[in-house]
A and B are shown apart, each in its own frame.
Chain A
Amino acid sequence: MFISPLPDRIDVAGHSVECLMAGEGPPVLFLHPGHGVEPTDPYLAALARHHRVIAPSHPGFGGTALPEGITTVDDLTYFYLDLIEGLGLGKVALVGASFGGWIAAELATMGTELFSKLVLLDPVGVKFGGRETVDIYDIFATTIDQIPELFFSDPAFGKQALGNLDFINMSEASIERFARNRESLVLFGWSPPLYNPKLRQRLARIKLPTLLLWGEDDRIVPTSYGQSYAAAIPDAKFEAIPNSGHYGYIEQPGAFADRTIAFLSA
C-alpha cells in the first residue's frame, strides 16, 4: 500500500499531477490520507464500477511535486478548486479519507456550485474538545513501526498492507514515496496538529448531502469524534463500520464501498 506510482498524469494550473483515473459515470474526486493512495486500492476499484474516479496524489505526496508556495491545507484546498475547474467535471462528489477528508471538508465549506455530495471517511481537520484535550491522536509523536497498530483494527492486516514495512527489500522509489508522504503530512499538519481551528464553525456552511463513514475501532479519531463531526454539518449521516480502524476503507473495502455507492446514487 501507498508505495506504487499512479498510472496517469493531469495538468493543474501548470503543475503536473500524478493521478489514478478509473471508471465511467458521475465523477468522484477521491482525496487520499496522509500515507498516500495505491493504484490497486480495492475501495477505489469498487467505486470505479459506478463512477468516474479521479484520485490524484496531493502536491508533495507520491509522484506529485510540491510547487513553491503550497505550504498549508488552505493552499491545497485552492489547488483542488483549480483541479476541479480545470477538469471541467461539472458537479463532482467529494470523497476524502483522514487527511484527505480534512481537505474535502474545507472544500465543501467554500460553496456548493462545484460539488454534488460529500463522503468523509474518518476525516481529521476539526477541533472539538478543550485546550487540554487531544482530539486527534498525535501521530507525529509515533514511530513507523506503530503504524499498523494505530491505523488498522487488525495490526497484522495493516502490516501486510504496508509491505510488512520491509524497507530493506523495498525499491528506493517506493521508500521515497513513503518518506515524502510522511514529510509532507508534517508540512501540512504539524501544528495545530491536523486541524484548522476555524473549520469547526465553518462546517455549518456545508449545504451538501453528507455521509460520514467511520472505522468502529479507529484509534486516531474515535467514533465519538466522528459523531461530533456529523453533528456540526447540517445534512450529515453517520455510520460506524465494524472491524475497521482509521483506514477502515482499506480494511473493509466492500462495506465502505457499498455504503458510499448507495449514498452517491440515492
Chain B
Amino acid sequence: MEVWQFNEQSMHYAWDTIQGPTKVTPPNRHCDPVVAHKLYNRYLDEWLLGDELGFNIFVNEHHASSNCMSTSCTLTLSILARQTRNARLLALGCPIANRTDPYRVAEEFAMIDVISGGRLEMGLVKASPFELAMSNQSPARIMDRYWEAHDFIVKAMTHQDGPFTWQGEFFQYRNVNVWPRPYQQPMPPMWITASGPATGKKIAQLGYVCATFFNGAGTKILFDAYKEEYRKTHGFEAPANRLAYLGMMVTGHNEAQVAERVVKMKKYLDIQPRTPPAWINPPGYEPVEGNVKALKMGKKGRLNFGLPINPTIQEMADGGIFFAGTPDRLYEQIKTFSDRVGGIDHLLVLSQAADLSHEETVDSLTLFAKEVLPRLKELKRPVETPPLQAAAPAGKLTEAVL
C-alpha cells in the first residue's frame, strides 16, 4: 500500500467569525491575508517534510471556500514539483468540467511532469456541486463536457506529430500542440474519482486508478465493480496499483494524545453549515433518476458521513472516515478497513485539518512514517498473475495508459 499525504489547506481561523456557510458565500474579509500567507507556507513545509519521510503527495482545489485555500491544484503542485525530491505528486483533481480551457490543463500538467522529472499523477474530477456557482459552468450535461475535456487532454498530452485541430461540441481549438510534452511517456498515470459502481466501471474500462473519498460502506461495492469490469475489459486482474481510498488520519504517542488530536481535527468534519442549501445539489448535477429517488425519500444528502451522532474513534475508523490511534492500533484500523473493502492500493490520508498545530502535524507524520508506513508498504492486494495473452483486446487508449 502506498500512502499519500493530503491537506485541504484550510483557512479554519475564519470559522470563528463567519456567520452561515463556510463555502461559496462567506465574505473574503474573513480571510486575513497575513494568516493565509503563514498557513500556505506552513502547509507547504509539511509536504516537504512528508517528501523526506516517504509519503507521496496529494493536493486538491476548491473555490470561494474557507475549508480549502488551494484554488488550483496545478499551482500548488508546481511549487512542490520543484521543492520535493522523491514523492509522487497527485492532483486530485483538476475539475475539468468546470475548466473553460482544457488545453491549458494539459499544458500545466505536462510542465509539472517535466519539472518534477516524471513524478506527476493526473487526477480528473467532476467537482463538488457548489463549485458550479463559481465556475458558472452548467450542471446540465456536466458529464458530457467532462468526457470531451478528458478525451481532449489525453490526445493533447499523447500527440507528438505536430498541431492537431479539435472541433468538439464544447471545446474548439485550431492549433493544439503541447510544449513540453510530458516526461512520463506516453503520459502520466491517470486517476478519476468515483463513489458508485457505474463510474467505477467506466474508470475500469479506461484502466485508470479509481479513487474514492470517505466512501465507507460504499467502497467495497465500488471496488468490486471496478475489479470485475477491469477483468471483463482487459482480460486480466486489475494491477495492485489501481484502487485508492481517502480518509482522515492522525497518530500519537499515547491514547490521551491521540484523543486530543482527534478533537482538534474533527472540527473539520463537524463545521456546519458548509454549503448554502441551493448549492448542495443544483438541478442537472445528478441524473434525474437520482434526484427522483432523493426527493421520494425526502433525502437531502448523506448526513455526518454515514456515522452515528457523536461517533467514537473506533466507530469513525470502522466507518472508514477517520483512522486515529497509537501506531499499532492505527495500523490495525487501516488493515481491517482495507481487508473489508477487498484491499486498498493507495491510502490517501487527510493528515492535517482544522486546529491540529504544525508541531502536532509534524509529530504525527513523523511517528506514522516510522511506525506505520513501513508495515503498510508491506500490504499488497493479492492479484492473480496476468495471463500471457489478454482475453479481450485492450483499446488503443488503454494500451497507452497501462
Partners in one complex: yes
**Nearest B residue to A166, CB-CB:** B298
Interchain nearest-CB distance for A195 vs B (Å): 14
Contact B283 A182 (CB under 8 A): yes
Q: Is B75 an interface residue (CB 8 A)?
A: no
Give the interface SS of chain A, mostly helix, strand, loop or mixed.
helix
Interchain nearest-CB distance for A70 vs B (Å): 12
Tell me, in angstroms, the Cα distance from A184 to B283 when the chains sit together.
Answer: 8
Contact B296 A186 (CB under 8 A): no
Tell me, in angstroms, the Cα distance from A176 to B283 when the chains sit together.
Answer: 12
What residues of B have a CB within 8 angstroms of the CB of A113 in the complex? none
Q: Is A87 an interface residue (CB 8 A)?
A: no
Contact B277 A185 (CB under 8 A): no
**Nearest A residue to B288, CB-CB:** A179
CB < 8 Å neighbour of B136 from A167, A170, A184, A191: A191
Interchain nearest-CB distance for B283 vs A (Å): 4
Tell me, in angstroms, the Cα distance from A71 to B137 when the chains sit together.
Answer: 14
Q: Is A141 an interface residue (CB 8 A)?
A: yes
Contact A186 B291 (CB under 8 A): no
CB < 8 Å neighbour of A176 from B133, B279, B288: B288
Q: Is B197 an interface residue (CB 8 A)?
A: no
1/0 contact string of B130-153 vs chain A (CB within 8 Å): 000100111111000000000000
What residues of A have a CB within 8 angstroms of the CB of B139 in the complex? 183, 186, 190
Q: Is B284 an interface residue (CB 8 A)?
A: yes
**Nearest A residue to B287, CB-CB:** A183
What residues of B have a CB within 8 angstroms of the CB of A262 in the complex? none
What residues of B have a CB within 8 angstroms of the CB of A186 in the complex? 138-140, 282-284
Q: Is B34 an interface residue (CB 8 A)?
A: no
CB < 8 Å neighbour of A175 from B136, B140, B279, B296: B296
Contact A167 B295 (CB under 8 A): yes
Contact B278 A172 (CB under 8 A): no
Q: Is B292 an interface residue (CB 8 A)?
A: yes
Q: Is B309 an interface residue (CB 8 A)?
A: no
Q: Is B383 an interface residue (CB 8 A)?
A: no
Q: Is B303 an interface residue (CB 8 A)?
A: no
Tell me, in angstroms, the Cα distance from A226 to B343 when the chains sit together.
Answer: 62
Q: Is A265 an interface residue (CB 8 A)?
A: no
Contact B284 A175 (CB under 8 A): no
Tell me, in angstroms, the Cα distance from A143 to B281 when the chains sit together.
Answer: 9
1/0 contact string of B33-47 vs chain A (CB within 8 Å): 000000000000000
1/0 contact string of B258-286 vs chain A (CB within 8 Å): 00000000000000000011110011100
What residues of A have a CB within 8 angstroms of the CB of B388 in the complex? none
1/0 contact string of A108-128 vs chain B (CB within 8 Å): 000000000000000000000
Give the interface size class of chain A. 20 to 34
Given the known A-B contacts A142-B278, A186-B284, are A179 and B138 also in contact in the complex, defined by CB atoms under 8 Å? no
**Nearest B residue to A144, CB-CB:** B295
What residues of A have a CB within 8 angstroms of the CB of B137 in the complex? 191
CB < 8 Å neighbour of B283 from A167, A172, A179, A191: A179
Q: Is A180 an interface residue (CB 8 A)?
A: yes
**A144-195 interface with B by 8 A CB criterion:** 144, 146, 167-168, 170, 172, 175-176, 178-180, 182-187, 190-191
Interchain nearest-CB distance for B16 vs A (Å): 26
Tell me, in angstroms, the Cα distance from A71 to B278 when the chains sit together.
Answer: 24
**Nearest B residue to A173, CB-CB:** B292
Interchain nearest-CB distance for A236 vs B (Å): 32
Tell me, in angstroms, the Cα distance from A190 to B141 when the chains sit together.
Answer: 11
Tell me, in angstroms, the Cα distance from A146 to B277 when the chains sit together.
Answer: 11
Tell me, in angstroms, the Cα distance from A142 to B79 when the chains sit together.
Answer: 38
18 A-B pairs besides A71-B141, A186-B139, A190-B140 with CB distance below 8 A are: A140-B282, A142-B278, A143-B278, A172-B296, A175-B296, A176-B288, A176-B292, A178-B295, A180-B288, A182-B283, A182-B284, A182-B291, A183-B139, A183-B284, A187-B141, A187-B284, A190-B139, A191-B138
Cβ-closest 8 pairs across A and B? A187-B140, A182-B283, A190-B138, A167-B295, A179-B291, A186-B284, A186-B140, A183-B284
Please name 24 pairs of A and B residues whose Cβ atoms are closer than 8 Å in the assembled complex, sorted by A: A140-B278, A140-B282, A141-B276, A141-B278, A141-B279, A143-B277, A167-B295, A167-B296, A168-B297, A170-B295, A172-B292, A172-B296, A175-B296, A178-B295, A182-B283, A186-B283, A186-B284, A187-B138, A187-B140, A187-B284, A190-B139, A190-B140, A191-B136, A191-B137
Residues of A within 8 A of B (CB): 71, 140-144, 146, 167-168, 170, 172, 175-176, 178-180, 182-187, 190-191
